[in-house]
Amino acid sequence: MNIVVAQSGGPTAVINSSMLGVYRQALVEDTIGTVYGSLNGIEGIIYDRLVSLNDRIVTDEDMALVRQTPASALGSCRYKLPDAAKEPAVYESIRKTLESHDIGAFFYIGGNDSMDTVNKLSAYFASVGCPIRVMGVPKTIDNDLPLMDHTPGFGSAAKFIATSMAEIIRDATVYDLDSVLIVEIMGRDTGWLTASAALPRLCGESAPHLVYLPEAEFSVDAFVEDVKRIQKESRTVIVAVSEGVEIDAAGDFRSGKVDNFGHKYLSGVGKALEQIVTDRIGCKVRSVELNVLQRCAAHCASATDVCEAEQVGMAAVRAAVAGETGKVAAILRVSDAPYAAEYTCIPVGEVANKVKYVPREWIAAAGNDVTDEVLAYVRPLVEGEIPLLTECGMPRHFVIDR
Determine how β-strand 339-347 pairs with β-strand 327-336. antiparallel
Closest separation between CB of residue 282 and a copy of itself, Å?
Answer: 14
C-alpha 36/C-alpha 54 separation (Å) is: 8
DSSP code per residue over 309-369: HHHHHHHHHHHHHTT--SEEEEEEEEEETTEEEEEEEEEGGGTTT---PPPGGGB-TTSS-
Give the nearer residue to a copy of itself in terms of CB position, either 78 or 360: 78
CA-nearest of 278, 271, 275 to 245 is 271
Closest distance of CB 341 from a copy of itself, Å: 16
Closer CB to a copy of itself, 322 or 394, in the complex:
394
Question: Which of helix, strand or coil describes residue 20?
Answer: helix
So which residues are the catalytic ones?
142
Answer for the pair 103, 4: CB distance below 8 angstroms, yes or no: yes
Whole-number minimum distance, CB 115 to a copy of itself, in Å? 19
From the list 321, 296, 313, 352, the residue with the least C-alpha distance to 108 is 313
CB of 318 to a copy of itself, least distance (A): 28
Nearest to a copy of itself of 77, 351 (CB atom): 77
Q: Which is nearer to a copy of itself, 5 or 172 (CB)?
A: 172
- Taking every pair of Cα atoms in the chain, the longest distance, rounded to a whole number of angstroms, is 71
At residue 51, φ and ψ (nearest 5 deg) are -125, 150
Cα(301)–Cα(324) distance, integer angstroms = 31
Question: Could you give the angle at which helices 303-321 and 15-28 cross, rounded to 10 degrees?
Answer: 40
Measured distance CA(336)–CA(129) in Å, rounded: 43
- As measured in angstroms, the least distance from the Cβ of 181 to a copy of itself is 9
Task: Name which of 13 and 35 has its Cβ closer to a copy of itself.
Answer: 13
